[in-house]
């Protein structure tokens, strides 16, 4: 198996969410390890959150499973029923089709790092229960819509 050259994987900062929903991801840095390794069946991303940053808006997926493992630091995992603190070595899963909106927030004073491994479904809809947003991938990439179906 080829070793990935981390220095050759360009970091992506911020978010692709439409305004004003991207603001809380300003301190988020992601490296798409799965794409860098040529993976097509599942995605692997390395995230670093600066203090105060969010991993995403709180969401759930219709077709994609997610696995998270904290590599460094501490984050609050916020779900429908409240929050759980995840520290280095802790893991969490979110099964496709379960309407449990979730995201990670770094409330500490130090950076946090975690891996996200997820399904690469050909089509997908992600729901955002706290805001007027829905993300739809019809096989041509994600596009954002209001919950009533109007495009952003």
pLDDT number for residue 125: 98
Residue-wise pLDDT tens digits, 1-31: 589 999 999 999 999 999 999 999 999 999 9
Mean pLDDT in residue range 86-113: 98
- Report H helices in 4-112: 33-36
pLDDT number for residue 2: 86
Residue-wise pLDDT tens digits, 39-57: 999 999 999 999 999 999 9
**CA separation for the pair 64, 70 (Å, rounded):** 20
Closest CA to 107 of 145, 58, 55: 55
In the chain, what is the straight-line distance between the N-terminal and C-terminal CA atoms, in Å?
A: 41
Residue-wise pLDDT tens digits, 103-152: 999 999 999 999 999 999 999 999 999 999 999 999 999 999 999 999 99
The beta strand positions in the chain, using DSSP E, are 12-13, 28-32, 42-49, 60-61, 66-72, 74-79, 82-87, 91-94, 103-105, 112-119, 124-128, 133-137, 142-145
pLDDT number for residue 152: 95
The answer to whether residues 102 and 77 touch, using CB atoms and an 8 Å cutoff, is: yes
Q: What is the CATH number of domain 24-122?
A: 2.60.120.10
């Amino acid at each position: 198996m080829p070793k990935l050259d981390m220095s050759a994987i360009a970091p992506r900062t911020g978010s692709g969410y439409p305004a004003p929903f991207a603001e809380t991801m300003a301190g988020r840095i992601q490296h798409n390890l799965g794409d860098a390794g040529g993976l097509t069946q599942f995605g692997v991303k390395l995230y670093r959150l600066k203090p105060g940053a969010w991993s995403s808006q709180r969401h759930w997926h219709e077709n994609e499973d997610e696995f998270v493992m904290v590599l460094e630091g501490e984050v609050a995992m916020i779900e429908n029923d409240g929050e759980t603190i995840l520290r280095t070595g802790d893991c969490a899963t979110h099964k496709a089709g379960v309407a449990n909106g979730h995201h990670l927030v770094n409330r500490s004073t130090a950076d946090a790092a975690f891996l996200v491994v997820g399904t690469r479904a050909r089509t997908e809809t992600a729901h955002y229960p706290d805001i007027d947003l829905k993300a739809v991938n019809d096989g041509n990439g994600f596009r954002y819509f209001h919950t009533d179906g109007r495009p952003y």
